[in-house]
Chains A and B, each alone.
Chain A
C-alpha cells in the first residue's frame, strides 16, 4: 500500500524557516516518480508549490515560492523535503506531499497524497 506521511509543520513567525519532510513507502520511491508539494490555505483551493523528478534533475517551483523554498529528495531514504525560508503569512496552509503518476511538460496528475501537515505563519 502506497503511503505518504508528512511531518515538520507548525507555527512559525514571519521571516522564519521550516523544513517539511515526507516519508514514502509501498512503492519504489527512486523509480520514475516525480514528487510534488501542493498546499491548501484554510478554506481555499489547491495550489501546486514545487516538483522534483526522480533523479532530482528537474526541479520546478511556483512563482509564489521561488527563491524562498527548496525542494529535495533522498532516494536512499525514500524521503521528500521542502525547506521553506522567509515565510510569509500567505504561506499559511496545509502542505501535501503527492506522487506524480504521469507528467506532461513538467506537470503531473497526482495519484497518491499524504494527509498533510499544517504550516501557520503568524507573529
Chain B
C-alpha cells in the first residue's frame, strides 16, 4: 500500500500570506496525484489533478507541483474562503488519501 504523508498537520497563516502544503508518497506515484479542499459540513472539492493541473473553476492562486514521491500545493495569497482542510490523494497504485492539512487563520 502506498502511504501518503501530509505535512504539516496544521498550518496557521495570516490572510494574504502564502501557504505551502506538502504531500509525500512512500513510493513513486508518477504524477497521479490530486488535491482536494474540504470545508466543514461540505464534501471535498477537487482542486488539482495530475499533480499540477487546476480543476475547472479553481482560482489561479492554487498551484500544484511535484512528481514521483514529493508534491506541493501552494496557495499564493490566502483568502478567507481558503481556510479549510486539504487532502492529497494518489491514484497511481490503487487508492490512498493523506490524512489532511488544516489551514487555519493565524
Contact = CB atoms under 8 A, between A and B. Distances in A.
Interface of A: 45-48, 62, 96, 98, 101-116
6 contacts: A45-B98, A46-B87, A96-B43, A101-B49, A107-B91, A112-B46
A46 B44 contact: yes
Interface of B: 32, 34, 36, 42-46, 49, 55-56, 87, 89-95, 97-100
Q: Is the interface of B mostly helix, strand, loop or mixed?
A: loop
B75 to A, nearest CB: 19
Given A45-B99, A46-B97, A101-B49, A115 B91 contact: no
Nearest to B89: A109
B43 A45 contact: no
A45 B100 contact: yes
Contact of B46 (A103, A109, A115, A116): A109
Contacts of B55: 111
